[in-house]
């Protein structure tokens, strides 16, 4: 494959994983919005992702110098797959406040992973 084609494919796959990741976050937030109608769940679900993306942006350059682009892509893809599988399963199998707390932690990891994938 030519270099520019590889780069295009790389960015298309990163974009797709970001969109799929947000789909998982939205689906799990829907579940918790129904469970806890008195709380502002939609705000709380997005806050960790956006905050983590902001904080991880400071680590992008050092990480880029430490790892190759291929390593970053492979590691962030594996992490994203894990998060995408875990978000709906946590919403289904771990009800209540513990499940919500786990979803928030996974959302933090998702925000960090999306930011790392953008290097």
**DSSP letters of 99-116?**
HHHHHHHHHHHHHHHHHH
Longest dimension (CA), the chain: 54
- pLDDT single digits (tens) 96-118: 888 888 877 777 776 666 555 55
The larger pLDDT score, comparing residue 3 to residue 73, is at 73
Cα–Cα distance measured from residue 56 to residue 13, given in angstroms and rounded to the nearest whole number: 20
- pLDDT single digits (tens) 20-64: 766 766 777 777 788 888 888 777 777 776 777 777 778 777 877
């Amino acid at each position: 494959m030519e270099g520019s084609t590889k780069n295009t494919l790389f960015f298309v796959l990163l974009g797709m994983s970001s969109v799929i990741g947000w789909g998982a976050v939205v689906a799990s937030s829907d579940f918790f919005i129904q469970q806890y109608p008195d709380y502002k769940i939609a705000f709380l679900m997005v806050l960790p992702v956006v905050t983590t993306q902001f904080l991880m942006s400071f680590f992008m350059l050092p990480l880029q110098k430490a790892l190759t682009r291929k390593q970053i892509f492979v590691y962030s893809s594996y992490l994203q797959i894990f998060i995408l599988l875990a978000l709906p399963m946590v919403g289904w199998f771990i009800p209540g406040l513990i499940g919500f707390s786990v979803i928030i932690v996974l959302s933090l990891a998702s925000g960090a992973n999306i930011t790392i994938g953008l290097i």
